[in-house]
Amino acid sequence: MATAMARPCGEFETNYRGDQRVFPSRGSAFWVVGSIVILALLPLGLPALLGAGNVALGVIASSAVMIAALYVLKIYFGVTMGNVLAIAIPGAALFAMQPDGLTPYWTDQLILIGCYGVAALGLNILVGFTGQISLGHAAFFGFGAFASAYLSNNHGIPVVLSIPLAGAMTTLVGMIVGIPAARIKGLYLAIATLASQFILFDFFNRAEWFTGGSAGSLAESFTLFGWYLGSADRYIYVVLFWVVVMYLLATNLMRSRDGRALVALRDHYLSAEIMGINLTKYRVLSFGISSFYAGIGGALYGHYLGYVSVESFDILLSIQFLGMIIIGGLGSIAGSLMGTGFMLMLPEAMETVVSVAGSMGLADTTALITALAFLKEMAIGLAIVLFLIFEPDGLAHRWQLIKAYWKLYPFSY
């Protein structure tokens, strides 16, 4: 299989089309697409096994599918089998530790990390790879949620189709908002995107035909070919599918001509313009791509909750999205998911610290519970400041340093 998947040594491309090809060989295309299909069909088979009470068989099936899919992706991305097992074995153990797989709490957290992680990746493409700025990402996240609910409720479009359609609708809105990016930059662009946040937020409150106004809107549960996948233990596989697809798309985008143009625009726009890169086109395009990711993440989020409310998409969420990519690492695809997990789990960790301190008698329990909300917000702000000072490249860079240390040990370089 290795010879069918890998490109022969000494083979070089002689044209741009070949250099920009997503899959280096037919074998890699077949196996990567096959692994994504397996991840997509996993919700149809695994819940039936778990629902039948055969938990052991369900754990074995989930572990086998996880290892197979990761093995295929490791061949494509060139990761060692040790890295695959390092991800697959703890994942299988996490399922085995609980009698019914993951607890509802951890399932809920993983679903939220997936939804926010997709949206954060879109913002990282805009900020980290293109060098633009956006303070209105939460508005696009909310637009995707409302758009998907609107399509499924009012037009009878299945949820499985309304999610990508909501992403396309959000792309159009994002490109309209990104038009000022062709003329302004820096602080002025930040103010323009901040204005879009308030404009869309006001639109959500007033457009009752689209969002339900201040009362919000119901979002239908996810179903696929008659299978109900709205419960958390099944919906997590739907989110997993979209996370894999969106992160693969972003990875290959950065290897394409357009992705390199975005990076060139970030590094030095004058040099990029001299090289023939259309600055207006790629600045607007970056906003469109970022909005598409935000729309997909928002649609997944809305259908998971079953109810979409205007108050969920305020300016504070936009700041949290910026914090996710700063902590994870600007210009890092994997860092987007790392930062999302860190930002969502940090408040939970603070709650654990407060409960432990109260149980040990280190502080007044009542006072700690009262101050818990402030401690959570303070911890997020403090984490952003500390990362900017001590680790400006984020968790992704720190992870690369750790891997390099163990790879080179005992040598320093």
385 and 396 together in one domain? yes
Q: Is residue 66 within 8 Å of residue 89, measured between CB atoms?
A: no
- For residue 377, give Cα distances in angstroms to 310, 341, 391: 21, 16, 20
Q: How far apart are CA 275 and CA 254, in angstroms?
A: 18
Mean pLDDT of the chain: 79
The series of mean pLDDT values per 10 residues for the chain, 413 residues long, is 46 62 62 60 51 50 58 52 50 49 80 93 93 92 94 90 94 90 83 92 90 86 82 86 90 88 89 88 92 95 91 90 92 90 86 72 64 74 88 88 77 67
75 and 144 together in one domain? no
232 and 158 together in one domain? yes
Both tokens of residue 376?
A: 């959570």
- For residue 331, give Cα distances in angstroms to 79, 115, 125, 147, 401: 20, 19, 7, 29, 16
Contacts of residue 135, defined as CB under 8 A and 6 or more positions apart, other chains included, come to 190, 193, 194, 197, 315, 318, 319, 322
In a domain, 266, yes or no: yes
pLDDT per position as a tens digit, 115-151: 999 999 999 999 999 989 899 999 999 999 999 999 9
Cβ count near 257 (within 10 Å): 11
In a domain, 279, yes or no: yes
Which of 291, 301, 319, 309 is closest to 205 using CA atoms? Answer: 309
Q: How far apart are CA 266 and CA 273, in angstroms?
A: 12
355 and 384 together in one domain? yes
Q: How far apart are CA 308 and CA 211, in angstroms?
A: 8
Residue 36: which domain range? 20-101
In a domain, 12, yes or no: no
- Residue ending a domain, among 36, 66, 101, is 101
55 and 113 together in one domain? no
Q: Would you state the pLDDT for residue 340?
A: 93
Q: Is the peptide bond before 47 cis (omega within 30 degrees of 0)?
A: no
In a domain, 3, yes or no: no
Which of 356, 357, 359, 326 is closest to 343 using CA atoms? Answer: 326
399 and 385 together in one domain? yes
Sign of the Cα torsion 150, 153, 154, 158 reads: positive
96 and 162 together in one domain? no
In a domain, 331, yes or no: yes
Q: Would you state the pLDDT for residue 362?
A: 62
- For residue 37, give Cα distances in angstroms to 22, 41, 238, 328, 408: 17, 6, 12, 29, 37
Paired strand residues for 234:
none
In a domain, 1, yes or no: no
Q: Would you state the pLDDT for residue 373?
A: 66
233 and 116 together in one domain? yes
248 and 343 together in one domain? yes
- Residue ending a domain, among 61, 80, 101, is 101
Q: Would you state the pLDDT for residue 358?
A: 67
Cβ count near 44 (within 10 Å): 14
68 and 175 together in one domain? no
Decide: helix, strand or coil at residue 227. strand
Sign of the Cα torsion 218, 221, 222, 223 reads: negative
Q: Would you state the pLDDT for residue 9?
A: 52
Rg, C-alpha atoms of the chain: 22
Tell me how many domains the chain contains.
2
In a domain, 382, yes or no: yes
Chain Cα centroid distance, residue 369: 31
- Residue ending a domain, among 82, 101, 120, is 101
Q: Would you state the pLDDT for residue 138?
A: 94
Cβ count near 259 (within 10 Å): 20
Parallel, antiparallel or unpaired: strands 307-308 and 217-218:
antiparallel
Q: Would you state the pLDDT for residue 99?
A: 41
In a domain, 7, yes or no: no
pLDDT per position as a tens digit, 397-413: 888 888 787 777 767 66
145 and 177 together in one domain? yes
228 and 362 together in one domain? yes
- Residue-by-residue DSSP string for 353-411: HHHHHHHTTSS-HHHHHHTHHHHHHHHHHHHHHHHHHH-TTHHHHHHHHHHHHHHHTTS
